Chains A and B, each alone.
Chain A
Amino acid sequence: MKKYAKTAQLSFLERINGGLIYILPSIFIKIFTLIALVYLWRVVMTSGVDVGMTLPQMLTYAYVSAILADMLVVQTAASGWLSEGVLMKLYGRPLPVFGQLAAQTVGGWVPELLMFSLPMILLAPLFSVNLIPKSSYFLLSLLLCISLGFAIELLFACLSIKLRNMNWLLGRMRMAIITVFSGTIIPIRLLPFGLSEIMRYQPFASLGGAPLTIFTGSANVPETILLQVVWNIILWPVAILVWKKSQEGMVSYGG
């Protein structure tokens, strides 16, 4: 466990070793985006259209989505396996590759949790946002979301191995898919054209959207948790199997 903690610490230091000042622009933009998003939802929700969510629920949804963004849609260094030397780093150390990847990812979350999420949690009352979860199942749902996020990330990483030099492209497509399908930006139940009914059962909906709806009390908790468990049970064996096969296909030079 100590080795994983050290890996996480190294990842944390890697993010800030250029100096904290270089993370500030990103934090600054996130704060601006979150404030604008809160007011965008205020403007939208005052239109009076009934969408099955109240204004306080919507504000909480948007706020928690921003402060837990890294956990709700897990992104690891795995998509840069071949082009960024990640492969060489991870295989050269006496630790399981996936364990390192997980520790590295979690360590990378820390700077933003400290510099963005924590201050914004403290400032939440200023925006009249309630950050008390409506159900204690939120934590379980968050853990299932993170677990599923790693499985999906592993599958995308395998795809980048298969397609060799397309990791940048895959990253963009992945981001596009998740932006629309995970419900982290727009709650799935708010989608028009009857899309919400179709979209709630696809795997990406069990990522960020699931814990967020539980947090705000706008979900059917047993059904949401069950869907998350089912997608974990389906996707993890697939991810491990594809991963085992993909390892042999890795080709990299430089880094």
Chain B
Amino acid sequence: MEGNRLPTDRITFKRIIKLLMIAAKVDMVWLLRDTRFAIMGILGDVINNLAMVSGVFLIAVRFGGIGGMTTDEVLFMMAYSTLVTGIFMLFGSSNNIHVSRIIGRGQLEHMFIQPLPLSTQLLTNGFSPFTSSSNFIVGVILMMIAINRLEINVSAVWMLTLIAYLIATMIIIIARAYLVSSIAFYAPVAAEEITYTAIDETWLLSTFPLSGMPRFVQIPLMTILPEGLMAWFPALILLNKIQAGLLAYYPMLFALLSALTAGYFFRKGLRYYVQKGSNRYVPYGFRR
């Protein structure tokens, strides 16, 4: 497919932006065509996320903090978590991060016939700034409130550090999704929802402040199941709660290693899929 690409289809930064604009336009059309559903969807997303983060925050309010973190510091952590959810939803609304659904449902075929590399499609087609930006906006507002209450000096370096940690967190999430989704190439029915398990079912865990917990709980949650890197550890660094030294770069290193591992297994699975195909559809169109 890539060998037959026209010169005009070269994937440049400008082309990526154009493709993102196409995805945004599709999103806007959906909003305008089915406004009631879209608005309810936006509200549903906001309520769902706020419910998720409010649990830990309410505990912090009731107990005046958690494990050495003050209530406002927990609010900062929840704001970070909401920002992550917001970015996730902003760029991942077409199952392009829940990619096991695309693989498991045999929908990769739909993407193979497009005159664009698979990676470019997956990067751009989930962008939905009109219907899925609500959590991002709520996250920004919560972050501003937390920064204000904690009187954080927001310098350019601090902002860049925040952005770097957000990118690292997103890479870890996406890498985990693609790593587990590789199983769906071999077992499309059983593993269709495996990204839901790996990402959504761990969301509650990612809102836990691990401060004060014993090492045997903290270490697995920073390595095997890195929920501590989803909000807690970046929040500690950004709040200067710990002097981490080189350990401050650990999320970036973890993101890099996760991405390399996921890339290797995903490509391997894709090669298998290209040779074997999918058995999910019967000839008259229904999904098995």
Binding site for B on A (CB under 8 A): 18-19, 22, 25-26, 28-30, 32-33, 35-37, 39-40, 43-44, 47, 49, 51, 165-166, 169-170, 172-173, 175-177, 179-180, 185-186, 190-193, 254-255
Contacts and interface: CB of A to CB of B under 8 A. Distances in A.
A192 B62 contact: yes
Interface residues of B, number: 48
B225 A29 contact: yes
10 contacts: A19-B190, A29-B197, A33-B204, A35-B217, A49-B63, A173-B43, A179-B55, A185-B55, A190-B58, A193-B61
A97 to B, nearest CB: 22
Given A30-B201, A32-B220, A191-B62, 13 more contacts: A19-B190, A29-B198, A32-B202, A36-B217, A36-B227, A39-B217, A40-B208, A43-B66, A49-B63, A180-B54, A185-B55, A186-B58, A190-B59
Nearest to B51: A176
A116 to B, nearest CB: 12
Contacts of B44: 169-170, 172-173, 176
A35 B58 CA distance: 20
Contact of B190 (A18, A36, A40): A18
B180 interface: yes
B260 interface: no
Among B65, B183, B197: residue with most chain A CB under 10 A: B197
Contacts of A185: 55, 204
Contacts of A255: 286
Contacts of A18: 187, 189-191
B37 A36 contact: no
A43 B63 CA distance: 10
Given A172-B44, A176-B51, A39 B66 contact: no
Given A169-B41, A254-B286, A186 B217 contact: no
Interface in B54-96: 54-55, 58-59, 61-67
A88 to B, nearest CB: 11
Q: Across chains A and B, which 8 residue pairs bring their CB atoms closest together, nearest first? A: A18-B190, A176-B51, A43-B212, A22-B190, A176-B48, A43-B67, A192-B61, A172-B48
B63 A47 contact: yes
A15 to B, nearest CB: 11
A176 B62 contact: no
B52 interface: yes
A25 B194 contact: yes
Contacts of B64: 47, 49
A93 to B, nearest CB: 19
Contacts of B201: 26, 29-30
A40 B221 contact: no
A191 to B, nearest CB: 6
B41 to A, nearest CB: 5
Among A43, A170, A179, A193: residue with most chain B CB under 10 A: A43
A51 B58 CA distance: 13
Contacts of A172: 44-45, 47-48
A170 B211 CA distance: 35
B111 interface: no
Among A36, A47, A179: residue with most chain B CB under 10 A: A36
A173 B48 contact: yes
Contacts of B58: 186, 190-192
